[in-house]
Chain A
Amino acid sequence: MNCFLGVDVGSVSTNIILMDEETNVLESMYLRTQGKPIVTVQRGLQDLAGRLKPGWHIRAAGTTGSARHLTSVIMGADSVKNEITAHAVAATHLVPGAQTVLEIGGQDSKIIVLRNGVVADFAMNTVCAAGTGSFLDQQAARLNIPIEDFGPIALEAKSPVRIAGRCSVFAESDMIHKQQMGHNLSDILAGLCEALVRNYLNNVGKGKEILGPVVFQGGVAANVGIKKAFEEALEVEVQIPKHYDVMGAVGAALLAREAVAKGQPSKFKGFEAAQEDYRAGSFECGDCPNLCEVIEIAAGEKTIARWGDRCSKWANSVMAEESAV
């Protein structure tokens, strides 16, 4: 059976999925990137290799996320696409008719407006990461509650407190203040959920036409408190797809399927890539005052990719070596 591999390597999590021809997700993994994208991808692929059933064949592979280029160099990919496109593709396939996609991940959040199954508009958070998963993680840790309990506790709130959500630093001091005043935990957590949603809609969602069906995906969609806050703010039902936490990877697999639709052979290097010894290094090129930080990926003794140079001379030198071989 032909399968499609999708890998989404983000700042916080690395998601790997395997999908069949009918868009059924066969295997899915949610790993923490922990600052080591190469090792995490290799570990995930190794794990996945062990789960393969006889007869499953990787027909094509796709990567997305901020480490999509790095990942494609390591495992070989037929499609290397940005996460906005990947999320949009996944949502249109898994939730037909969706008109708005709210996505909140570890460090970024985006909104994608779909009309007739096509992206009509999108926005991504800028430098500010207030209201993303990392902040919720951090607050849960500070309050000493497991992140899984965050949502359910927030749902118990009777009268959520008002928390300033514009900036996570101020939100935190505001929360501490409310807690010292004697408000109970569930009211504070529900207040935080509302603040995050307000912040999201005012920044990322500013000026966007949000129509239902609304799909909420990304790791934060696991938080029922946030879901409820979205529903109250938007006054529409918010759907959470089954594979909400790995939608980027699903999109990458769908894009890979499209990339080989005309019968092209796959660029996927196979699961052996998980065994190979990859090293990433960097150096500062001093040939001009730009002082580019050049990234260098080596497999064993051989340099297989370089990037980060504005003039591309280092990047091209690898390609030249390759074509010479």
Chain B
Amino acid sequence: MKKRVGIPRALLYYTYYPLWREFFTSLGAEVVVSSPTTKGILNQGVKKAVDEACLPVKLYYGHVMDLIGKVDYLFLPRMVSVEAKTYICPKFLGLPDMIRHNVDNLPTLIDVNINRHKNDNQLYGAVYQVGKMFSANPYNIYAAFNRAIKVQNRYETLLQQGILPFEALSVLERGDGGDKETATPQQGKDLTIALVGHPYNIYDNYISMNLIEKLKTMGAMVMTPEAVAPEVVEGEANKLPKKMFWNMGKKMVGSAFHFLNRPDVDGIIHLAAFGCGPDSFTGELVEREVRRKKTVPFLNLTIDEHTGEAGIVTRLEAFVDMIRWKAVSQ
């Protein structure tokens, strides 16, 4: 019987799922993803999680609980750093411990350390350690990892073409070779809005209150940091007086600065999660730059566990009205 590996549909799922999935399936395991976020999943998570955690971490708890009983392993790597000289965020560092101590009846945890902060050599060691749980053959592990890297690269290429993760995942799922016919750039919209935030906030339809869909319905094309090339992010983020050491924060700030310089971007929305430390910094850094430039309208939205949509809708409507009104008057 195939070993079942559970992956919570939360946090870095939106960034690395293709990599993880390809690796485990190549080694003969079955990958099980938790259900899309619902009120039930969020409530479960909020109840279990420590109060000080941010909203996305609380949601992660809910997704872990959704997988209990359905899988033999739970893939919960300790993601310390994914690139040189940056860190993810302290809450990611402590995630395996938080889960282990707060959630009962857990399956076997796969909680290897991923830390590329100082050197890259550590990475394959971690990969091999996980691979050994599924295959005794070192070559198989190596081959699976290579395949996984290829799929991940393809996913990132799709994202950089402006395809949103949800669609990019289904393109990969279908497994068709050609990117061209599957790439569906958004068309027929009169506005372009850049939505800047952590991937796990902006792409989770439940906690983002369907923000991307709402913007599309209002006639806006949506651009996200995932569509900005890493070199561009790096170049823009270097304009900060001090290096930002959160890689996700750096991506948000760098891409927001990039969007600020693009004539085709009509407005920038920063989506912050309640209780997120880095978000409070990135929001402020972006807002200050926006105010200095005074060219692009900016909106900062904060999401939390409340389900009331009225506040978000009012602000979004007013933001879009403002942009359109401005366009008419010019």
Q: Which residues from chain A sit less than 8 Å from chain B, CB to CB?
A: 66, 81-85, 116-122, 124, 126-127, 207, 209, 288-292, 310
Also in contact, A85 and B321, with CB within 8 A (given A207-B287, A207-B291): yes
8 Å CB contact of B317 from A85, A120, A310: A85
Shortest 3 CB-CB contacts between residues of A and residues of B = A289-B40, A84-B318, A289-B38
Chain A: minimal CB distance from B129 (Å): 35
Also in contact, A85 and B318, with CB within 8 A (given A116-B329, A119-B326, A290-B40): yes
User: Is A291 a contact partner of B318 (Cβ separation < 8 A)?
Assistant: no
Interface string of B299-320 (1 = CB under 8 A from A): 0001010000011011101110
**How many chain B residues have a CB neighbour from A under 8 Å?**
27
Is B158 among interface residues, defined by CB-CB distance under 8 A? no
Chain B: minimal CB distance from A201 (Å): 16
User: Is A122 a contact partner of B318 (Cβ separation < 8 A)?
Assistant: yes
Residues of B within 8 A of A127 (CB): 304
Residues of A within 8 A of B318 (CB): 82, 84-85, 119, 122
In the assembly, what is the distance between CA of A6 and CA of B41, in Å? Answer: 42
Chain B: minimal CB distance from A116 (Å): 7
User: Is B210 a contact partner of A310 (Cβ separation < 8 A)?
Assistant: yes
User: Is B322 a contact partner of A82 (Cβ separation < 8 A)?
Assistant: no
Residues of A within 8 A of B38 (CB): 288-290
Residues of B within 8 A of A122 (CB): 318-319, 322
Chain A: minimal CB distance from B43 (Å): 9
A sample of 20 inter-chain contacts (CB < 8 A) reads A81-B321, A82-B313, A82-B321, A84-B317, A84-B321, A85-B325, A118-B325, A119-B318, A119-B321, A120-B322, A120-B326, A121-B322, A122-B322, A127-B304, A207-B287, A289-B39, A289-B40, A290-B38, A292-B39, A310-B210
Interface of chain B residues 22 through 74 with chain A (CB within 8 A) = 35, 38-41
Residue of A nearest to B310 (CB): A66
In the assembly, what is the distance between CA of A158 and CA of B288, in Å? Answer: 39
Add 6 more A-B contacts to A289-B38, A289-B40 (CB < 8 A).
A66-B314, A84-B314, A118-B325, A121-B298, A289-B39, A291-B40
8 Å CB contact of B326 from A84, A118, A289, A292: A118
Is B297 among interface residues, defined by CB-CB distance under 8 A? yes
User: Is B317 a contact partner of A81 (Cβ separation < 8 A)?
Assistant: yes
Residue of A nearest to B287 (CB): A207
Residues of B within 8 A of A121 (CB): 297-298, 322
In the assembly, what is the distance between CA of A290 and CA of B39, in Å? Answer: 5
Chain B: minimal CB distance from A150 (Å): 28
Interface of B is mostly: helix
Residue of A nearest to B319 (CB): A122
User: Is B329 a contact partner of A117 (Cβ separation < 8 A)?
Assistant: yes
Residues of B within 8 A of A117 (CB): 329
Residues of A within 8 A of B313 (CB): 82
Chain A: minimal CB distance from B46 (Å): 14
Residues of B within 8 A of A119 (CB): 318, 321-322, 325-326
Chain A: minimal CB distance from B101 (Å): 26
Residues of A within 8 A of B329 (CB): 116-118
Residue of A nearest to B209 (CB): A310
Residues of B within 8 A of A84 (CB): 314-315, 317-318, 321
Which of B41, B318, B325 has most A Cβ within 10 Å?
B318
In the assembly, what is the distance between CA of A119 and CA of B323, in Å? Answer: 8
In the assembly, what is the distance between CA of A81 and CA of B322, in Å? Answer: 12
In the assembly, what is the distance between CA of A121 and CA of B210, in Å? Answer: 24
Residues of B within 8 A of A289 (CB): 35, 38-41
Residue of A nearest to B313 (CB): A82
8 Å CB contact of A124 from B35, B210, B314: B314
Residue of B nearest to A65 (CB): B314
Interface string of B253-297 (1 = CB under 8 A from A): 000000000000000000000000000000000011001000001
Chain B: minimal CB distance from A306 (Å): 15
Residue of B nearest to A126 (CB): B302
Also in contact, A82 and B40, with CB within 8 A (given A119-B325, A119-B326, A122-B322): no
Residues of A within 8 A of B39 (CB): 289-292
User: Is A124 a contact partner of B315 (Cβ separation < 8 A)?
Assistant: yes
In the assembly, what is the distance between CA of A124 and CA of B316, in Å? Answer: 12
In the assembly, what is the distance between CA of A66 and CA of B311, in Å? Answer: 9
In the assembly, what is the distance between CA of A87 and CA of B313, in Å? Answer: 16
Residues of A within 8 A of B314 (CB): 66, 82-84, 124
User: Is A82 a contact partner of B317 (Cβ separation < 8 A)?
Assistant: yes
Chain B: minimal CB distance from A211 (Å): 13
Residues of B within 8 A of A83 (CB): 314
In the assembly, what is the distance between CA of A209 and CA of B292, in Å? Answer: 11
In the assembly, what is the distance between CA of A209 and CA of B288, in Å? Answer: 12
In the assembly, what is the distance between CA of A209 and CA of B315, in Å? Answer: 19
User: Is A120 a contact partner of B297 (Cβ separation < 8 A)?
Assistant: yes
Interface string of B82-125 (1 = CB under 8 A from A): 00000000000000000000000000000000000000000000
